[in-house]
Amino acid sequence: MAPEELDLPAQQCLVATLSQHLTDTLGGPVHHLQTHLSHVLLAGGQAWKLHKALATDFADFRRLSQRVHDAQEELRLNRRLAAPLYRDLQAVLGPPGPVRLAPWPAQGALDVAVHMRAFEPDQQWDRLLQRGALSLAMIDRLAGRLVDFQRQAPVAPAWADADERVQQPLRDTLTTLGRLRPDALDGWSDWAAAEGRRLAGWRRQRSAQGCVREGHGDLHLANIAQVDGEPMPFDALAFDPALRWIDVVADLAFLRMDLAAHQRPDLAGRLLDAWLQRNGDGQALVGERAERVARALVRAKVAALRHTQTGQAADRDATDHALALARRVAQPAPPMLLITHGPSGSGKTALTEALLDQGDLVRWRSDVERKRLHGLAPSEASHSPLDGGLNDHTANAATLARLLALADAALQGGHPVLLDATFLRGADRQAARALAARHGVRYGILPFDADPALLRERLARRAAAGHDASEANAAVLARQLQDRDPLDADEQALCWRPDAVLTDAAGAPQARWTTLLAALQSAS
């Protein structure tokens, strides 16, 4: 049989024989795993992945040339984020000689394998999550790696059919779902058309700004592993360029969707916050929710395809769950705009941290955005005097304008927003309230305060630590306390306060916001 004509049954036999060869060569057991599109052989701390010689609605690997191209792309794409895992390509040789592996390329190869370093399966993020071992530190580290990767990724060309490239994958998903599960497609075509109109201008703007890049394309929990202490996304989408030339927010949205599917909105919220604090990409929020819905629909499609192969009830249930998640994300509670109010050191940032557990809430910190406007990292000192540098009137006005612009974009995307700033001036609070009114959303104030002596002590301790974005000192605090405009009676009626303030094991204060979190879930 010619290499180009290797069919699925013949390939299955080839893989079985290769597995025996590895057993004989390495002297240990070989584990054979299968996905919808691939065979994976694990042995001796190594892995070999072969693409199945089949065609689906979205990929065609029937010919060796097609499998070779995809394997080459897989090696290139995955070395960007998981270079320690992806070694090389190896040829699978066989009859008339024995089935064996050889360096690629090789004369007479029957198939090609992506040769990888194996990792411990229990270090995949879906398994870490199942046993409660996926930490906030890992989430934070991944966000940093993702932002760095996206900054370096190639920018998409200025395609004449760019809008069609974005919308066609979603239409294809809905077409497949409609064929497999016509009972579940009600309303989705209308939603896709409406979102296409709503986001048309945003997508053109994002493309012009270089936000459409060659991403990962399949960034979910099972495609991330802890290796050598680092989160390593692997198995990037290679078979269809249209699914990886995407807005940078799409990869983030995929992982956030998966965290929500695993009932962890708290981790989804922390991931969003960490990503935004690093890149300041507020405009991404206009379309982030729509990207999450699209990824949930893709998951429903994959589960439905799997159900046609297995007939198992679990796969039908997985389709139903993914569709239900897509509908929940597409129909969120109306957002709210919240602001903090209080002098530096009063606990605004620390005590609102728990609100991120809501999953969709977007927090923008004035201390971080003020420095971003001046090209400084959050922990980078500006050495600004009391009324100069980052503390002068122009800088204050620019920071407020940026916070309001960021909130505007998040509200357009259906996200509740928390603006973490002092908001000691009544005029600044009125500007935020006017923005909420323009969007027709609920507005609230989270007030904080403490004894001036305690505030001074906290600021001194924070300055000594040297890792906080805030540079407020005793002089800044004195000016704040002298010039602040107290909340009037109308504003007092808009205030939300913690249900309780607790202390964690390290002695740090933590707030419980049960009442406010319930309001965020049902805002009207």
CATH number assigned to the domain comprising residue 403: 3.40.50.300
> Of 283, 299, 330, which closes a domain?
330
Nearest 5 degrees, angle CA 217-CA 115-CA 92? 115
Dihedral angle at the C-alpha atoms of 465, 469, 475, 480, nearest 10 degrees? Answer: -130
Rounded distance between C-alpha atoms, residue 100 and residue 14, angstroms: 10
CA dihedral 205, 207, 209, 211 (to 10 degrees): 120
495 shares its domain with 466: yes
pLDDT at 160: 67
Q: Looking at the structure, do residues 33 and 176 belong to the same domain, yes or no?
A: no
Q: Which residues contact 503 (CB under 8 A, 6 or more apart)?
A: 509, 510
Considering 92, 118, 144, which residue would you say is the last residue of a domain? 118
User: Can you list the residues of the chain whose pLDDT is less than 50?
Assistant: 1-3, 524
Same domain, 73 and 131: no
What pLDDT, on the 0 to 100 scale, is given for residue 137?
96
pLDDT value of position 1? 42
- One domain for residues 102 and 177: no
Ordered DSSP codes for 173-234: HHHHHHHH-GGG-TTHHHHHHHHHHHHHHHHHHHHHTT-EEE--S---GGGEEEETTEEEE-
- Given 118, 149, 178, the domain boundary residue is 118
User: Is 0.75 surpassed by the pTM of this model?
Assistant: yes
Helix (H) or strand (E) holding 88: strand 86-93
Are 344 and 271 in a shared domain? Answer: no
CATH number at residue 252: 3.90.1200.10
- Tell the residue number behind the tokens 């705009």, with chain if given: 337
Enter the DSSP assignment of 413: T
The domain tally of the chain equals 3
Domain match, 49 and 166 both: no
Q: Are residues 168 and 299 in the same domain?
A: yes
Mark whether 192 and 319 lie in a shared domain: yes
Are residues 176 and 69 located together in one domain of the fold? Answer: no
Where in the sequence is the domain holding 49, given as residue range(s)? 3-118
Structure tokens at 241: 């360029």
Q: Are residues 197 and 305 in the same domain?
A: yes
Are 468 and 377 found together in one domain?
yes
Geometric angle at alpha carbon 130, from 124 and 134, rounded to 5°: 60
129 and 108 in one domain? no
Angle formed at CA 427 by CA 425 and CA 433, multiple of 5 degrees: 110
